[in-house]
Amino acid sequence: MQPRVSSAGPPFSGHRSRTSGVARRPFSLRLVVMVKEPLAGRVKTRLGRQIGTVAATSFYRHAASAVVRRVSCTARWQTWLAVAPDTMASSRFWPGGLPRRAQGSGDLGQRMQRILDWHGHGPILIVGTDIPAIRQCHIAAAFKALGRSDAVLGPTPDGGFWLVGLKRSPAIPRPFSHVRWSSRYALADTLANLVGAGTSFAATLSDVDDAGGWRDVRSWSGRTILPVAVRS
């Protein structure tokens, strides 16, 4: 049985943060959502250069809020938030009932490795929030894949990935070493680090990094991001 989860404790970065209203209970499955405080000029900067900072920030604000709400309203796994920047780990923008920790410094791989190292056993998934189509069924399928594999990756059409998960028994050392982030090689480089491990793939989902991706989701993205009928 897993240790009981506390609503307090050091963040991923090693600095303390505050959470509230978290029920203490054991969980064997853990989902960590990497989020950024939705501040103008600090999120979706590439998209902002194409559609304007205000529109890009608004998109991220609503997409992030919707994804977090959607994947966390279940008892099948426990959802944690890994927040950037570290100073915003106690921000009131995020749901008060979810435990959260600061991401810490470094590139994406270093921050994800810190999340994996923070709690060294049990299945764990890490996702971001700029994939508006993420649903609970995608998360459930990825956890199921870890029942038969050591690792699971959720590809994106541009050569990256929106989800990574590890069973962590046996341990896989440094899956993010020398990955060329923000390039078409990110998935391939990560797979190269997983040679010898059994790896499965989750659904392929598209991220929204530019105006083309934003236009693709405009017809069904709004304050709720997905219609009620397709949220589960």
**Listed residue (123, 112, 110) closest to 82, CA to CA:** 112
The pLDDT of residue 2: 34
**Could you list the mean pLDDT of each consecutive 10-residue stretch along the chain, which spans 232 residues?**
36 44 58 93 91 92 91 94 90 86 94 85 90 94 94 95 88 88 95 93 93 82 46 46
The reply to whether 21 falls in a domain is: no
Q: DSSP letters along the chain, please?
A: -PPPPPS-S--TTSS-----SPPP---S-EEEEEEE---TTTSSHHHHHHH-HHHHHHHHHHHHHHHHHHHHS-SSSEEEEEEESGGGTT-TTS-TTS-EEE--SS-HHHHHHHHHHHS-SS-EEEE-SS-TT--HHHHHHHHHHTTT-SEEEEE-TTS-EEEEEE--SS----TTTT--TTSTTHHHHHHHHTTTS-EEE--------SHHHHHHHTTT-SSSSS-GGG--
The reply to whether 1 falls in a domain is: no
Burial 111-123 (b: 16+ CB within 10 A, else e): bbbbbbebbeebb
The reply to whether 79 falls in a domain is: yes
The pLDDT of residue 217: 83
The pLDDT of residue 17: 42
The reply to whether 9 falls in a domain is: no
CB 159 within 8 A of CB 187: yes
Q: What is the CATH number of the domain that holds 212?
A: 3.90.550.10
The reply to whether 17 falls in a domain is: no
CB 154 within 8 A of CB 89: no
The pLDDT of residue 12: 52
The reply to whether 172 falls in a domain is: yes
For 159, the domain range is 30-230
The reply to whether 6 falls in a domain is: no
The reply to whether 101 falls in a domain is: yes
The pLDDT of residue 120: 60
Count of structural domains, the chain: 1
